[in-house]
Amino acid sequence: AQSVAQPEDQVNVAEGNPLTVKCTYSVSGNPYLFWYVQYPNRGLQFLLKYITGDNLVKGSYGFEAEFNKSQTSFHLKKPSALVSDSALYFCAVRDMGNTPLVFGKGTRLSVIA
């Protein structure tokens, strides 16, 4: 069965600094990996996905993620954080076929001005 781990409950970063939100995964086959962001009182918004190909995936709002097969990681990154990036971030994984989307526990990102 697939699983996702987000080891940090909270990440704090100063505005303008680079940010990283960590995610590791476990699947039996090739993974389909996703990052979602949730702002207060909103649903989940899709940021980016890894299917196959380039290990650096670019997504919405200047976010990108680096896929590392040997470390089974898919860390979310942004070169320069904004206060408006403060939100709850979820990593998610699906295996091939008709399998459910499995979410990590979430990481709260706080960007301080």
Partner 1 sequence: DTEVTQTPKHLVMGMTNKKSLKCEQHMGHRAMYWYKQKAKKPPELMFVYSYEKLSINESVPSRFSPECPNSSLLNLHLHALQPEDSALYLCASSPRTGDSNQPQHFGDGTRLSIL
Residue 64 beta carbon to partner 1: minimum distance, rounded to whole angstroms: 16
Say if residues 82 and 96 touch (Cβ distance below 8 Å). no
Residue 55 to residue 109: CA distance in whole angstroms: 23
Q: Which is nearer to partner 1, 33 or 111 (CB)?
A: 33
**Nearest-10 Cα torsion for 57, 52, 30, 106:** 20
Strand, helix or coil for residue 66: strand
The two structure tokens encoding residue 79:
């070169």
Nearest to 62 by CA among 77, 73, 74: 77
Residue 99 beta carbon to partner 1: minimum distance, rounded to whole angstroms: 7
- Single residue of 7, 28, 42, 61 touching partner 1 by CB under 8 A: 42
- Single residue of 21, 23, 24, 32 touching partner 1 by CB under 8 A: 32
Can residue 46 be called a binding residue for partner 1 (CB under 8 A)? yes
Can residue 106 be called a binding residue for partner 1 (CB under 8 A)? yes
Give contact residues for partner 1 (rule: CB under 8 A).
32, 34, 36, 41-46, 49, 51, 88, 90, 94-101, 103-106, 108
